[in-house]
Amino acid sequence: MATGTPLISAKGLTCTFGHGKKKFTAVNKVNYVINDEEIITIVGESGSGKTTLAKMMLALQKPAAGELLFSGKAITDKHEHWRKVQAVFQDPFASFNQFFTVRSQLLACFNLFTEKYTVDQKELMIDKSLRSVNLDPDAVKEKYPFELSGGQMQRLLIARIFLIRPKILIADEPTSMIDACSRASILDLLLDLKKELKMCIIFITHDIGLAHYVSDRVFVMCKGEIVENDHPDKVIKDPQHPYTKKLLDDIPVLHKDWLRPAK
Amino acid sequence: MRQFTLLFKNPSFLISFVVFFGLVLVGLLFPIFVHGSPVDRLGCPFEAPTAHFLLGTNEEGQDMFVRLLFGLRSSLYVGLFAGTIATVLGVVIGLIGGYKGGLLDNVLTMLTNLFIVIPSLVVLILISNSLGPKGRSLEVVSIIIGATCWAWTARAVRAQAQSLKMRDHVNLAKLNGYGTTSIILMQILPYTLSYVFMAFIIQMATGILEEAAISMMGLGPYDSVTLGFILNNAQKAEALVNGDWWSFIPAAVLVTLLQYSLFVMNTSMETIFNPRLRKEE
Amino acid sequence: MAPILKIDNLAVHYKTRFGQQVHAVKGVSFELEQGKTFGIAGESGCGKSTLVNGLMALFMPPLFYTHGSVIIDGEDITKFDKERLRINILGKVISMIPQGALNSLNPTRKVKDFATDVMLNHHPEMNKKEIHELLRNRFALIGLDPRVLNNYPVELSGGMKQRVVIGISTLMDPKVVIADEPSSALDVSTQKSVIKMLMDLMDKGIIGSMIFITHELPLLYHVADDIAVMYEGKFVEVGKTDQIIFRPQHPYSRELMDAITKLSSEGERYDAKDKKGVVA
């Protein structure tokens, strides 16, 4: 990917909410380039604009100014865009409509496809996607979301990605609502998925540990701006921006003093 | 579904449910058992209740028992018709305004607020009066009632839609490429249903009461006997002064029973549905 | 030193609508000394939050007492009736900072009025003026700007709300404070300020001792003196913080420790394993 157009490029991207006195700039003249098959992590506290940045990439939020290009082209057809750019959300419980079964939630994805599939083909594809996230199709297909555990639902969200096979996946705090032990397995699942589909993953998180573990590059966001954009080792060992320094300082880790000298 | 089994274990709901649907069954099925016309002169005026005329006769010698059954039927009909119109209007306006937002929402909210501040009974009286007696069929009256009572439902549904549209399952449906109509119907509406059902019950009660109110003023439908019309007749014939209790007390009791059972149904549903709503927040 | 709080073989259960009993806490024992922090680690659903209710002897249907004792000052509070518990124990001797603290303030009332209610609950003889004076002094003492007393909860940021809740929960100088995931909804910098406040309260002697519940082990490492690892309603391992974090014995504790070290900024990177890195 040394030459050619980057997968995603943003120039002067800005997003504001409200009018007049209440006007609030969530993302302020941001520039970035994301390449094919990269894993990017956007780190920042709540209100830093990281979720808004992601929503613009997902075409769920219109930018107020600036340009956002995918393989050199602006978003024209949203339907086509969502074939290529998909998301896994933070709260698996809120991500599914509790009135529909797992099967119908996954069948809903076929709305995106221009190809026509027969009912049997669809069922086979659904089964396959469920198996690839270690869910037993016979056990979960007829269940309703509230009958599943948080970890299972998060897997279901990932099964959806297996089915759609996008080029870009935006994962908004994909592991913050599930417990520590299943957290690692969900991450591995996402990374396997990345290998299989050769996609680019953009993680959004406030968990620097996660960012360090998986990403090729880390963006640190503060007050609507990207203040750091570098390799994770560099960001963690040699942070440039004062905000990054404070952030790293405030995270409790085992081998460093925090609040008071370590025991 | 568990909510509904719980609902039927709640004694106050059960009693009000049995009372209301008992009355509905009576309204539907009485022609099988009771024959007779509500308008034919069958006896002498002002006969006290006897074995033949269970509830006596009125000033024109019409059988009050038969009139009461017909009245019950038309009142229920008005309640159902007006309640449906009001609920559908309120839900549609609330969902569209809440989900779409922007200018459309501003216009719809303004309209809603307008209907909230204008007392619907006054509008009802004005419209009924201007239509003249020949223009007021049971259906027309129901439509007028329905068209003036939707505002509270619209306001509540709008608030719910506004918070529901921020949820991730709505975003996911967008990412699946679904359009506004589908999202409103599949992602928003189901979550408001328990509220909508409760609102419908209240709208039904309002419909019955408003019809009784305007009929009593002599502005009711011309083509049917309703409970309000019976009360209006009794008033005109000075039944209260003459002590003809049978010509107004049964009708008044029926209106009260209908209102009471619907309201108890509503409040007992709230106790079941609300803890769940709170948990979902 | 004699412990402030002694829990002996405490068990509680839920009754479901269908008449089954779910044993959420199955025989838990520990002791808590003055000035110490006892950490409880475990996954969601392991019974942590149910244990909190048990520790305060708050048995309200569908939660029921099975067996065991909670001894504070030599008295077993599981034997108290509800009214005595409410007036003499809760908030006064043992106080809780709730998990969803951000929503535990009444949005329609000023912080001041809410705190006044709490004071009046325990000191009905005081008048409002005295209470307001006392609240101002108290907030200044614990490092909160007394002006927030005149704010409505919506006017405060998440971290400030949480600190106000802590301030109000500790008004009666409780001997034991139970902090149930007090910072899980906050970002790291705010989390640090909240934890710092709790530690300061302990140093100032306002709080006697603390039970700290979280699933974030690095945080627990810095806060707790002893840690219990909870799994399926039982303590599978109890020990000194260092021992639990660095030399866990029980297979479940080990799994938990592995999961955190893997995903910490001190751990190995994923691409160190097998990835053909594509760095821009």
Number of domains in chain C: 1
Give the model's pLDDT for residue B264. 92
Give me the residue from C261, C265, C278 closest to A212, CB to CB.
C265
Cβ-Cβ pairs closer than 8 A, A with B, add up to 45
CATH 3.90.1150.10 fits A37-47+76-237, yes or no: no
Distance CA A47, CA A163 (A): 32
Which CATH number is B13-21+54-280's, of 1.10.3720.10, 3.30.465.10, 3.30.2010.30, 3.40.50.2020? Answer: 1.10.3720.10
Residue C273 counted as domain residue: no
Question: Where does residue B179 fall: left (phi above 0), alpha (psi -120 to 50 degrees), or beta otherwise?
Answer: beta
Q: Is the peptide bond before A261 cis (omega within 30 degrees of 0)?
A: no
Beta carbons of C119 and C135 less than 8 angstroms apart: yes
In Å, how far is A137's CA from the nearest CA of chain C? 25
Distance CA A253, CA B11 (A): 56
The residue among B116 and A19 whose pLDDT is bigger is B116
CA angle C122, C127, C129 (to 5 degrees): 120
Tokens 């189901």: give the residue: B190
- For A21-71, write each residue's pLDDT tens digit: 778 889 999 999 999 989 999 998 878 888 899 999 999 989 999 999 999
Q: Is the pLDDT of residue B115 over 80?
A: yes
For the ranges A123-137, B166-180, C97-111, the lowest mean pLDDT is seen at C97-111
- Across chain B, mean pLDDT equals 86
Q: For chain A, how far is it from start to end, CA to CA, in angstroms?
A: 48
- C272 reaches A (C-beta below 8 A): no
Residue C105 counted as domain residue: yes
Q: Which amino acid is at A187?
A: L
Please list the ranges in chain C whose pLDDT falls under 70.
Answer: 1, 17-19, 99-102, 265-267, 270-280
Residue C276 counted as domain residue: no
The residue among B110 and C87 whose pLDDT is bigger is B110
Beta carbons of B119 and B186 less than 8 angstroms apart: no
| Element spanning C104, H or E | none
ipTM of the complex: 0.87
Highest mean pLDDT out of A125-129, A153-157, A208-212, A245-249: A125-129
Distance CA A212, CA A232 (A): 5
Domain of residue C119, CATH code? 3.40.50.300
Other beta carbons less than 10 A from residue A40's beta carbon: 23
SS3 string, chain A, reads CCCCCCCEEEEEEEEEECCHHHCEEEEEEEEEEECCCCEEEEECCCCCCHHHHHHHHCCCCCCCEEEEEECCECCCCHHHHHHHEEEECCCHHHHCCCCCCHHHHHHHHHHHCCCCCCHHHHHHHHHHHHHHCCCCHHHHCCCCHHHCCHHHHHHHHHHHHHHHCCCEEEEECCCCCCCHHHHHHHHHHHHHHHHHHCCEEEEEECCHHHHHHHCCEEEEEECCEEEEEECHHHHHHCCCCHHHHHHHHHCCCCCCCECECCC
Strand ranges across the sheet with A65-70: A24-34, A8-17, A65-70
DSSP B211-237: HHHHHHTT-S-SSS--HHHHHHHHHHT
Beta carbons of A103 and A53 less than 8 angstroms apart: no
B241-255 in b/e form (b: 16+ CB < 10 A) is eeebbbbbebbeebb
Residue C228 counted as domain residue: yes
Distance CA B281, CA B269 (A): 19
- Residues 6+ positions from B23 with CB-CB distance below 8 Å: B72, B76, B254, B257, B258, B261
In Å, how far is B7's CA from the nearest CA of chain A? 19
| Residues on chain C touching A191 (C-beta within 8 angstroms) | 270
In Å, how far is B114's CA from the nearest CA of chain A? 26
In Å, how far is A124's CA from the nearest CA of chain C? 31
- Residues 6+ positions from B226 with CB-CB distance below 8 Å: B71, B74, B75, B78, B138, B211, B212, B215, B220
Q: Is the pLDDT of residue B276 over 60?
A: no
Residues 87-126 (A) with a CB less than 8 A from some CB of C: none
Give the model's pLDDT for residue A261. 64
Distance CA B109, CA B97 (A): 7
For the CA atoms of B22, B26, B29, B34, the dihedral, rounded to the nearest 10 degrees, stands at: 150
Residue C272 counted as domain residue: no
- B102 reaches A (C-beta below 8 A): no
Beta carbons of A206 and C187 less than 8 angstroms apart: yes
- For B202-250, write each residue's pLDDT tens digit: 999 999 999 999 888 888 887 888 888 888 888 888 777 777 788 888 8
| Element spanning C11, H or E | strand C5-15
State the pairing for strand pair C63-72/C37-41.
unpaired
Domain ranges of chain B: 13-21+54-280
pLDDT band at B72 (very low <50, low <70, confident <90, very high): very high
| Residues on chain B touching A89 (C-beta within 8 angstroms) | 168, 171-172
For the CA atoms of C2, C5, C11, C16, the dihedral, rounded to the nearest 10 degrees, stands at: 180
- Average pLDDT of span B5-34: 86
For the ranges A81-85, A154-158, B15-19, B116-120, the lowest mean pLDDT is seen at B116-120
Domain that holds residue C85: 5-265
Longest CA–CA span in chain C (Å) reads: 72
Percent pLDDT > 70 in chain A is 95
| Residues on chain A touching B177 (C-beta within 8 angstroms) | 78-79, 82, 111-112
Helices marked H in chain C = 48-55, 82-84, 111-122, 128-141, 158-169, 188-203, 217-223, 241-246, 251-262
Tokens 């024109």: give the residue: B60
State the pairing for strand pair C234-240/A168-172.
unpaired
- For A160-211, write each residue's pLDDT tens digit: 999 999 999 999 888 776 766 677 788 888 888 888 889 999 999 877 888 8
Distance CA B127, CA A13 (A): 56
- A242 reaches C (C-beta below 8 A): no
